[in-house]
Structure 1
Amino acid sequence: MQLVDELSMIYTTCLMCYASFSYSRPATFRIILAISLTSLAVFITLYYHYLQDPVFHQNAYAFLTIVVILRSMYTMEVTLRPRWRRTREEDRVARQKKGILVSSKEQQQYENERDVKTLKTMWFMVGYGLFMFLGGFFIWNLDNAFCSKIRGWRQVIGLPWGILLEGHGWWHLGTGTGAYLYIIWGIWLRHCLNKRQEEFYLWWPHFWNFPVVVRKEPAGKQGNGAVKKSI
């Protein structure tokens, strides 16, 4: 049952890896990627069951997570950062001569400013998520290294304040929060990749709130309770 608990982290990360690398790819590439990631998950499962070494699982999970996060960061920057897009005047003129529909200068300026603001919030979300995740991982390691001593402190302090020294509990809270922020970031990024920024927005009034991606109500249909402010 411990393997079931830990291997689910591998399977979830493989799914996120597929979502990150398969976007806008041909069907053949997606099929090969799916088979490759499935084979990798099966290999990790069997080898971990044979090895019975948690360090192997931790290294495999860390490697997959780093790959997915770096890929998402790259996609975010290339897609949303105005200087990485072909927005120069000569490109616009060349595309117009070819009969390709281009945005007006005013529309392009609006989109650039919108995407820069989006990038700032996304990078804050990434940093905040990594801080929570790595912070939980750090506390978990402290709990492993000083388990006997911390357990003694908890017995001396007693309930309810002894709960604050439950390092494994803080590990779950930190990593759970970090994982949630990453999933919301991925959902929001996917909407941006689909050019649907005007249909959705991120509701995140304060950093201590849990952010959520919300579909915008059509003009004239917003009720009195509609949330109109977003970051």
Structure 2
Amino acid sequence: MAPALDGVWGKPTSTPDWCERNYEVTVYIAEFWNTVSNLAMIVPPAYGAFQAWRKNLETRLVLCYGFLLVVGIGSWCFHMTLWFEMQLLDELPMVWGTLILVYTLAEVSKPAHTNNYYLMAGLILYGTVITAVYLTIKVPVFHQVAYGFLVAVTFFMSLRLAWQQYFEVWLFAAATLLYLTGFLVWNVDNSFCAELSSARKSLPPLVVPFSQFHALWHCFAGYGAYISILYCCQARLSHLKQECRMKLGPVGLEIEVGKSRRTSRPKSQ
């Protein structure tokens, strides 16, 4: 836990308090760098959700972007205030958004305009149980294990799709590398907080932000998750025989959909 200074949000009520020193930059933001780094989980998915909606992609794909955006906003509010209520706005959408990604990956090869209601029910039940238990026990490790299990599931599902060659493998590799790098720096931040805090005292001011490893986790994992959704979109469109390709855009990579895309919005979820 980092030393606390006085700020407008009062004493932290969240279960974790990360390695960044509280209110060091401004009294209005408890953890400045951990807060602003969430732009990596806000701007790309906001743009992706808008583009997916504009291009008439399936609702499930729009929701994948949308939940990543909610996670980014929730994480911003959490690190800005260190309130438990804002912590839930960060952590619970992580679970529910990943459940939507699991559903989307599982249904990649299914015909258009179809839904797997049994799978939906099972995933909703899983999310409901995790949410209820976490709200009861309020133990961060429980959330981390439940979320980590879902991430592992999406990894192996995505790996299976890569073997089936629905899309370019490099996209899967890029998403995996970014997320694993984020997970690595997250663990370093947790395990070596005292050493990092001591080292920051001798670092030039311009270098200090790059020593905020939890903030780097947001950047790597956030953009890795965004690319994972791109990867899922390309797999789905490839199965539907829809022309698509990756291109550079305002937020880095984005998907370009061919002109033959149907104009009516699909009813599948």
TM-score normalised per structure 1: 0.67
Q: Could you say what secondary structure the match of 1:201 adopts?
A: strand
Greater helix content: 1
Matched to 1:129, the amino acid is: A
Return closer, same or farther for 1:28/1:43 CA change in 2, 3 Å cut-off: farther
Residue 185 of structure 1 corresponds to which residue in structure 2? 231
1:30: Cα distance to partner?
1.2
Return closer, same or farther for 1:126/1:75 CA change in 2, 3 Å cut-off: closer
Residue 173 of structure 1 corresponds to which residue in structure 2? 219
Q: How does 1:143-154 map to 2 (within 5 A)?
A: 143-154=189-200
Unaligned runs of 5+ in 1: 81-118, 219-231
> Residue 215 in 1 paired to residue 261 in 2?
no
- Tell me the distance in 2 between the aligned counterparts of 1:149 and 1:214: 45
Say if 2:104 and 2:232, in contact at 8 Å, map to a contact too.
no
- Tell me the distance in 1 between the aligned counterparts of 2:128 and 2:113: 23
Greater RCO, 1 or 2 (C-alpha within 8 Å, sep 6+): 2
1:195: Cα distance to partner?
0.9
1:45-69 C-alpha deviation (Å, 9 max, x unpaired)? 1111222222221111121122123
TM-score normalised per structure 2: 0.58
> Residue 141 in 1 paired to residue 187 in 2?
yes
- Tell me the distance in 2 between the aligned counterparts of 1:168 and 1:128: 20
Residue 11 of structure 1 corresponds to which residue in structure 2? 96
Matched to 2:245, the amino acid is: Y
Matched to 2:213, the amino acid is: G
- Tell me the distance in 1 between the aligned counterparts of 2:130 and 2:113: 26
Q: Could you say what secondary structure the match of 1:49 adopts?
A: helix
CA RMSD of aligned residues (A): 2.5
Unaligned runs of 5+ in 2: 1-85, 261-269
> Residue 200 in 1 paired to residue 252 in 2?
no
1:3: Cα distance to partner?
2.1
1:58-83 C-alpha deviation (Å, 9 max, x unpaired)? 11112112212322332343364xxx
